[in-house]
Protein backbone atom coordinates (compact mmCIF):
# COMPACT_ATOMS: atom_id res chain seq x y z
CA UNK A 1 0.00 0.00 0.00
CA UNK A 2 1.35 3.40 -0.98
CA UNK A 3 0.62 5.40 2.18
CA UNK A 4 2.16 8.52 0.72
CA UNK A 5 -0.11 8.42 -2.33
CA UNK A 6 -3.24 8.00 -0.18
CA UNK A 7 -2.17 10.85 2.11
CA UNK A 8 -1.60 13.33 -0.68
CA UNK A 9 -5.01 12.57 -2.21
CA UNK A 10 -7.00 13.23 0.99
CA UNK A 11 -8.94 16.46 1.56
CA UNK A 12 -7.76 16.65 5.16
CA UNK A 13 -4.13 16.86 4.03
CA UNK A 14 -4.72 19.07 1.02
CA UNK A 15 -2.69 22.25 0.78
CA UNK A 16 0.21 20.65 2.62
CA UNK A 17 3.61 20.51 0.94
CA UNK A 18 5.18 17.40 -0.56
CA UNK A 19 7.66 17.40 2.32
CA UNK A 20 4.81 17.48 4.85
CA UNK A 21 3.03 14.60 3.09
CA UNK A 22 6.24 12.56 3.33
CA UNK A 23 6.64 13.46 7.01
CA UNK A 24 3.08 12.27 7.68
CA UNK A 25 3.58 9.04 5.72
CA UNK A 26 6.76 8.32 7.67
CA UNK A 27 5.05 8.89 11.02
CA UNK A 28 2.09 6.62 10.16
CA UNK A 29 1.70 2.88 10.70
CA UNK A 30 -0.37 0.54 8.56
CA UNK A 31 -2.32 -2.35 10.03
CA UNK A 32 -4.78 -4.85 8.64
CA UNK A 33 -7.73 -6.14 10.69
CA UNK A 34 -9.86 -9.20 10.02
CA UNK A 35 -13.68 -9.11 9.94
CA UNK A 36 -15.08 -8.68 13.45
CA UNK A 37 -11.72 -7.70 14.95
CA UNK A 38 -11.72 -4.97 17.59
CA UNK A 39 -9.52 -2.04 16.53
CA UNK A 40 -9.87 -0.04 19.73
CA UNK A 41 -12.32 -0.41 22.59
CA UNK A 42 -14.74 1.95 24.35
CA UNK A 43 -12.81 4.01 26.94
CA UNK A 44 -9.40 2.74 25.76
CA UNK A 45 -6.77 5.43 25.67
CA UNK A 46 -5.28 6.51 22.36
CA UNK A 47 -2.81 9.06 21.08
CA UNK A 48 -3.42 8.08 17.46
CA UNK A 49 -6.23 8.54 14.98
CA UNK A 50 -7.26 6.29 12.13
CA UNK A 51 -7.79 6.48 8.41
CA UNK A 52 -9.64 3.70 6.60
CA UNK A 53 -7.51 2.79 3.57
CA UNK A 54 -9.60 -0.22 2.53
CA UNK A 55 -12.55 -1.96 4.16
CA UNK A 56 -15.25 -0.81 6.53
CA UNK A 57 -15.30 0.06 10.23
CA UNK A 58 -18.15 0.62 12.66
CA UNK A 59 -18.14 2.67 15.85
CA UNK A 60 -20.69 1.29 18.28
CA UNK A 61 -21.90 1.19 21.85
CA UNK A 62 -23.23 -1.88 23.62
CA UNK A 63 -25.78 -1.95 26.43
CA UNK A 64 -25.51 -4.07 29.55
CA UNK A 65 -28.01 -6.54 28.12
CA UNK A 66 -26.00 -6.94 24.90
CA UNK A 67 -27.95 -4.68 22.53
CA UNK A 68 -25.80 -2.70 20.14
CA UNK A 69 -26.24 0.75 18.63
CA UNK A 70 -23.96 1.74 15.77
CA UNK A 71 -22.93 5.40 15.93
CA UNK A 72 -21.02 5.66 12.66
CA UNK A 73 -19.92 3.60 9.69
CA UNK A 74 -16.60 4.57 8.15
CA UNK A 75 -15.43 3.52 4.70
CA UNK A 76 -12.37 4.17 2.52
CA UNK A 77 -10.80 7.62 2.90
CA UNK A 78 -12.69 8.40 6.12
CA UNK A 79 -11.04 9.33 9.42
CA UNK A 80 -12.06 8.45 12.95
CA UNK A 81 -10.70 8.91 16.45
CA UNK A 82 -9.76 12.58 16.08
CA UNK A 83 -12.12 13.50 18.93
CA UNK A 84 -10.24 11.22 21.33
CA UNK A 85 -6.68 12.27 20.43
CA UNK A 86 -7.49 15.95 20.63
CA UNK A 87 -9.50 15.90 23.88
CA UNK A 88 -8.79 13.54 26.78
CA UNK A 89 -7.34 10.62 24.74
CA UNK A 90 -10.27 8.40 25.80
CA UNK A 91 -11.80 6.61 22.82
CA UNK A 92 -15.59 7.08 22.88
CA UNK A 93 -16.89 3.73 21.55
CA UNK A 94 -15.89 0.32 20.21
CA UNK A 95 -14.29 0.43 16.76
CA UNK A 96 -14.65 -2.90 14.94
CA UNK A 97 -13.64 -3.93 11.42
CA UNK A 98 -16.74 -5.15 9.54
CA UNK A 99 -14.70 -6.70 6.76
CA UNK A 100 -11.00 -7.17 6.13
CA UNK A 101 -9.79 -3.58 6.59
CA UNK A 102 -6.46 -1.85 6.30
CA UNK A 103 -6.06 1.27 8.41
CA UNK A 104 -3.41 3.96 8.39
CA UNK A 105 -2.72 5.02 11.96
CA UNK A 106 -1.40 8.53 12.61
CA UNK A 107 0.11 9.80 15.85
CA UNK A 108 -1.55 13.02 17.04
CA UNK A 109 1.94 14.41 17.62
CA UNK A 110 2.68 14.36 13.89
CA UNK A 111 -0.24 16.74 13.35
CA UNK A 112 0.95 19.01 16.13
CA UNK A 113 4.41 19.15 14.57
CA UNK A 114 2.93 20.01 11.17
CA UNK A 115 0.60 22.63 12.62
CA UNK A 116 3.55 24.49 14.08
CA UNK A 117 4.73 25.02 10.49
CA UNK A 118 1.33 25.68 8.94
CA UNK A 119 -2.08 25.81 10.68
CA UNK A 120 -3.91 24.69 7.53
CA UNK A 121 -4.17 21.09 8.73
CA UNK A 122 -5.95 22.29 11.87
CA UNK A 123 -8.64 23.99 9.77
CA UNK A 124 -9.04 20.71 7.91
CA UNK A 125 -9.42 18.78 11.18
CA UNK A 126 -11.97 21.34 12.41
CA UNK A 127 -13.89 20.76 9.18
CA UNK A 128 -13.92 16.96 9.67
CA UNK A 129 -14.98 17.23 13.33
CA UNK A 130 -17.69 19.76 12.44
CA UNK A 131 -19.13 17.39 9.83
CA UNK A 132 -19.06 14.46 12.26
CA UNK A 133 -20.75 16.57 14.94
CA UNK A 134 -23.49 17.62 12.54
CA UNK A 135 -23.94 14.01 11.42
CA UNK A 136 -24.37 12.94 15.03
CA UNK A 137 -27.02 15.63 15.58
CA UNK A 138 -28.89 14.28 12.55
CA UNK A 139 -28.53 10.78 14.02
CA UNK A 140 -30.09 11.90 17.32
CA UNK A 141 -32.94 13.56 15.42
CA UNK A 142 -33.48 10.48 13.29
CA UNK A 143 -33.35 8.00 16.19
CA UNK A 144 -35.63 9.98 18.49
CA UNK A 145 -38.08 11.86 16.27
CA UNK A 146 -38.48 9.67 13.20
CA UNK A 147 -40.32 6.39 12.87
CA UNK A 148 -38.37 3.45 11.49
CA UNK A 149 -39.79 3.56 7.90
CA UNK A 150 -39.05 7.30 7.81
CA UNK A 151 -35.51 6.66 9.11
CA UNK A 152 -34.86 4.10 6.40
CA UNK A 153 -36.16 6.43 3.67
CA UNK A 154 -33.96 9.28 5.00
CA UNK A 155 -30.95 6.99 5.11
CA UNK A 156 -31.42 5.95 1.47
CA UNK A 157 -31.84 9.56 0.31
CA UNK A 158 -28.75 10.77 2.21
CA UNK A 159 -26.65 7.84 1.00
CA UNK A 160 -27.79 8.46 -2.59
CA UNK A 161 -26.94 12.18 -2.31
CA UNK A 162 -23.44 11.25 -1.15
CA UNK A 163 -22.89 8.58 -3.82
CA UNK A 164 -19.37 9.29 -5.04
CA UNK A 165 -20.06 7.73 -8.44
CA UNK A 166 -22.32 10.69 -9.14
CA UNK A 167 -25.43 8.53 -9.69
CA UNK A 168 -27.70 9.99 -7.05
CA UNK A 169 -30.56 7.55 -7.67
CA UNK A 170 -28.43 4.57 -6.67
CA UNK A 171 -27.19 3.39 -3.28
CA UNK A 172 -24.82 0.55 -2.60
CA UNK A 173 -25.49 -0.52 0.98
CA UNK A 174 -22.10 -0.30 2.69
CA UNK A 175 -22.78 -3.20 5.04
CA UNK A 176 -25.12 -6.14 5.51
CA UNK A 177 -28.76 -5.45 6.39
CA UNK A 178 -27.98 -6.89 9.82
CA UNK A 179 -25.34 -4.18 10.43
CA UNK A 180 -27.42 -1.45 8.81
CA UNK A 181 -30.26 -2.26 11.23
CA UNK A 182 -27.91 -1.50 14.15
CA UNK A 183 -27.21 1.95 12.69
CA UNK A 184 -30.91 2.69 12.13
CA UNK A 185 -31.98 1.50 15.57
CA UNK A 186 -34.13 -1.39 14.38
CA UNK A 187 -34.01 -5.15 13.81
CA UNK A 188 -32.86 -6.84 10.58
CA UNK A 189 -36.38 -8.33 10.25
CA UNK A 190 -38.06 -4.90 10.39
CA UNK A 191 -35.52 -3.36 8.01
CA UNK A 192 -36.04 -6.20 5.53
CA UNK A 193 -39.83 -5.98 5.81
CA UNK A 194 -39.84 -2.21 5.18
CA UNK A 195 -37.48 -2.50 2.19
CA UNK A 196 -39.83 -5.16 0.77
CA UNK A 197 -42.85 -2.91 1.31
CA UNK A 198 -41.05 0.02 -0.36
CA UNK A 199 -40.33 -2.28 -3.30
CA UNK A 200 -43.98 -3.35 -3.58
CA UNK A 201 -44.93 0.36 -3.50
CA UNK A 202 -42.48 1.01 -6.38
CA UNK A 203 -40.39 3.50 -4.35
CA UNK A 204 -37.19 1.48 -4.70
CA UNK A 205 -35.78 -1.55 -6.47
CA UNK A 206 -33.40 -3.77 -4.47
CA UNK A 207 -30.86 -6.10 -6.01
CA UNK A 208 -28.43 -7.60 -3.50
CA UNK A 209 -26.67 -4.65 -1.88
CA UNK A 210 -27.82 -2.18 -4.53
CA UNK A 211 -30.88 -0.03 -3.99
CA UNK A 212 -32.23 2.04 -6.84
CA UNK A 213 -34.56 4.92 -6.03
CA UNK A 214 -37.36 4.57 -8.60
CA UNK A 215 -39.81 7.14 -7.20
CA UNK A 216 -37.82 9.91 -5.51
CA UNK A 217 -40.80 12.18 -4.95
CA UNK A 218 -42.74 9.55 -3.00
CA UNK A 219 -39.63 8.47 -1.08
CA UNK A 220 -38.99 12.09 -0.06
CA UNK A 221 -42.60 12.47 1.02
CA UNK A 222 -42.18 9.26 2.99
CA UNK A 223 -38.96 10.52 4.62
CA UNK A 224 -40.63 13.81 5.54
CA UNK A 225 -38.04 15.84 3.62
Contacts with a copy of itself in 30-59 (CB under 8 A)? 59
> What burial class does residue 147 get, using C-beta atoms within 10 Å of its C-beta: 0-12 exposed, 13-18 middle, 19+ buried?
exposed
Q: Which of 161, 134, 139 is nearest to 220 (CA)?
A: 161
Under the binding rule (CB under 8 A), the answer on residue 165 touching a copy of itself is no
Phi, psi of 60 (to 5 degrees): -145, 165
Query: What is the secondary structure of 16-77 as a DSSP string?
Result: --HHHHHHHHHH-EEEEE-TT-EEE-TT-B-SEEEEEEES-EEEEEE-TTS-EEEEEEE-TT
122 forms part of the interface with a copy of itself (CB under 8 A): yes
Asked if 109 interacts with a copy of itself (CB under 8 A), we say no
CB of 173 to a copy of itself, least distance (A): 21
Considering the complex, state which of residue 131 and residue 209 has its C-beta at the smaller distance from a copy of itself.
131
Closest to a copy of itself by CB, 122 or 206 = 122
Of 183, 184, 180, 162, the residue nearest 171 (C-alpha): 162
| Interaction of residue 116 with a copy of itself, rule CB under 8 A | yes
Q: Which is nearer to a copy of itself, 191 or 211 (CB)?
A: 191
Contact letters (x/-) for a copy of itself, 145-164, by CB under 8 A?
xx------------------
CA–CA separation, 105 and 110 (whole Å): 11
- Rounded to a whole number of angstroms, the minimum distance from the CB of residue 190 to a copy of itself is 15
87 in Cβ contact with 125 (< 8 Å): no
Q: Which residues lie near a copy of itself (CB under 8 A)?
A: 59, 61-64, 67, 69, 71, 82-84, 86-87, 92-93, 112, 115-116, 119, 122-123, 125-127, 129-134, 136-141, 143-146, 185, 224
Amino acid sequence: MDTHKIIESLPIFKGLSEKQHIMLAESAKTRTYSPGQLIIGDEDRTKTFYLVATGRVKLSKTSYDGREQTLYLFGPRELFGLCAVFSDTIFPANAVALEKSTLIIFPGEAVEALARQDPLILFNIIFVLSRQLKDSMHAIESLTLKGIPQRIASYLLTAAARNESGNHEMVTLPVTQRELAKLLGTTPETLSRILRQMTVDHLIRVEGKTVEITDRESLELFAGV
